[in-house]
Structure 1
Amino acid sequence: MAAALGPTWAARTGVGIAVVAAVLACVFAWRELFTAERTHAQTMLVTSQRHGAQLRNEREHNAGVVDTLSGRVREVTAVVDGQRVTIAALRHEVFALEGDRTTLRGQLQQRDKVISWLRSTVRSQDAEITTLRSRLQAEEDERVAAEVHQLPRRVRAEFAAVEQADVTELPTFASVLPNYEEDRRLA
């Protein structure tokens, strides 16, 4: 206002003050801009360093996890390999046992055939023995009925000893002829 209403020197002084104010405003603005850029650069540097540290920590953690998982995978692989060996051994054993089972089945079938044959043989021989016993009993009955002889005293004593003795220790008898003396006396 002073420049518009007042003398020219006041207008020139007002323009000088305006130029000085503009220069000062530009200097302060440039300084503020430089300070803001510097602060922003420092903030970005700190943020970048913090982010780098976080990434480094995360990589270290991930590397530890990967190492742990790799160790577990190696352990599981070792267990799996051991189990594969065990499975292969068991398969081999099963194959051998299958062969043994087949052999035993053949032997059982053969044994069953032999047992069946023996049973039929025993049945036929039992029938024969029964027939022979009945014949022998009939013959013995006929012979006993036909002639009754008395045993000598010595043989009777031996028979009495045999009846008292253990069956496993039977004494052998001397061949004794029947005693026909009494029959001769009567004749």
Structure 2
Amino acid sequence: MKSRNLIIIVVLAGILILGGCGCSGYNRMVSLDENVKTKWNNVQSDYQRRADLIPNLVSTVKGAANFEQTTLTNVIEARAKATSVNVNADDLSPEKVQQFQQAQSQLGGALSRLLVVAEQYPQLQATQNFKDLQVQLEGTENRIKVSRNDFNSSVQEYNSVVRRFPNNLFAGMFGFKVRQGFTAEAGSERAPKVEF
């Protein structure tokens, strides 16, 4: 009878300990999941700020005589594509993050080409509005970089907790999956060629 009671006490103690770990782990995963979602929303907000600046930049550049229409069209089309790719913070699958990243990268490339072409127009470079927009875009690009780094840090912390034992046992039961952060663009490992 004593050994039976001891077994029941040990089993109950094990259940309580496991339940306590499960509750603690679950609550930690919820907090980290919410942090990832917040950081993702910050990333999207900063990219939206960049998209909001583009119409003003395009309008300013259009005022320059004989400005390359193809360059402007490419920026407008890239902006439309980038703003159409929305990824819900609850569905940050690797494919969706990659799709978002590609659309934003195309917009960044189109903007870079626009600014390079704009350098060929001294009257455009001299306007205060264009200078102000360039400064705002530069600041926004810095914000995007910080937001992406913050997002990647939150994803790394979340993934570490979700994959660590015993949380990994509860993560699967409660639907916590490993998240994908931002990665380097294909070809970014090669330094660009600068020719004069």
TM-score, normalised via structure 1 length: 0.32
Q: Which has the larger Rg? A: 1
TM-score, normalised via structure 2 length: 0.31
Higher helix share: 1
Higher relative contact order (CA 8 A, sep 6+): 2
